[in-house]
Structure 1
Amino acid sequence: MSLYEPTSDPGPFFHGTRADLSVGDLITGGFRSNYRPEVVMDHVYFTALSDGAGLAAELARGDGPPRVYVVQLTGPFENDPNVTDKKFPGNPTRSYRSAEPLLITGEVADWRRLTPQALQDWRERLNNVEGEITN
């Protein structure tokens, strides 16, 4: 049983990354966290907000350009415990995670990019975050 109530958000859902992926590919857990590279994540994270996925893409590790993919769920999902109630009461970011893969069904080209200063501000904020990542 989950520690977090499952959500009924109808989507659509998005995943931000610097990985060059294609329609039909699966995104899975098992990779290092973008925010704490010493942590290997058991889940794959996603959001119902394309601009939120864009933020995640811009903050993601890697050399490729930031990308936002439209994803389809292949199993149950829950609220992301790293932001829900811990940082934002409720789930205004509509951020979720799943232990099951996400299927890429498309790519979004028109998400809102951060200014260089806003991106730097986010990076500094993340470097100063204390506490554990719930995996």
Structure 2
Amino acid sequence: MSSEKPSNQSATGTILDNGPFYHGTRADLQVGDLLTAGFRSNYRPEIIMNHIYFTALVNGAGLAAALAKGDGRERVYIVEPTGSFENDPNVTDKKFPGNPTRSYRSTAPLKIVGEVTDWDRLTPEALKTWRDNLAKLNADPKAVIIN
């Protein structure tokens, strides 16, 4: 791996977030492990994802961990991109103006550099609402994930 710092510029040259960055999951991983693309979407399991997603908001990563598939406990990892990254078009300019969720994606791996254990967890009622809304979205044939 190159010792060069990955680019935090979009294709248009806009400077993206400087972090810190977080990734929410139920996977039990260690510092130094790499998170990579190529796995099934948590939101559309028929889709194999071309990117690995992350955010600069710890509670956003906590939400992703709560919604992640699997039986493991919710985990939020502190991550460093190993390559260039872009705004996540599923929640930014292509669907919403700007990047209010400070969400990003990369085709390059994310390196785990730590774990956060304190974030605002969803109540069971709020989690049910999120899951119900995702189920409605998944039932809509017009709804797409920009992969």
Report TM bin, short chain.
over 0.9
Aligned counterpart, 1:131: 143
**Cα deviation, residue 90, structure 1:** 1.0
Pairing 1:30–2:38 present: yes
Kindly provide the CA deviation profile for residues 16-50 of structure 1, in whole angstroms up to 9, marking residues without a partner as x. Answer: 00000000000000000000000000100000000
The alignment-based identity, stated in percent, is: 68
Whole-Å separation in 2 of the counterparts to 1:69 and 1:51: 12
The two structures have a TM-score, normalised by structure 2, of 0.86
Q: How far does residue 89 in structure 1 lie from its aligned partner after superposition?
A: 2.1
Gaps of 5+ in 2: 1-9
Q: Distance in 1 between matches of 2:122 and 2:12?
A: 31
Rg larger in structure: 2
Contact 1:45 1:80 in 2 (8 A): yes
Look up the match of 2:50: 42
Shift of 1:3: 7.1
Q: How many residues align?
A: 134
> In structure 2, what is the Cα distance between the partners aligned to 1:30 and 1:72?
18
Give the TM-score normalised by the residue count of structure 1: 0.94
Q: Which residue number in structure 2 is paired with residue 110 of structure 1?
A: 118
Q: C-alpha distance in 1, partners of 2:93/2:12? A: 11
1:92-126 Cα distance to aligned partner (Å, 9 max, x none): 10000000000000000011100000000000111
Which blocks of at least 5 consecutive residues in structure 1 are unaligned?
none
1:128: how far off? 1.0
Counterpart of 2:18 in structure 1 is 10
1:72 is matched with: 80
> Superposition RMSD on alpha carbons, in Å?
1.6
The whole-number CA distance in structure 1 between the counterparts of 2:68 and 2:11 is 27
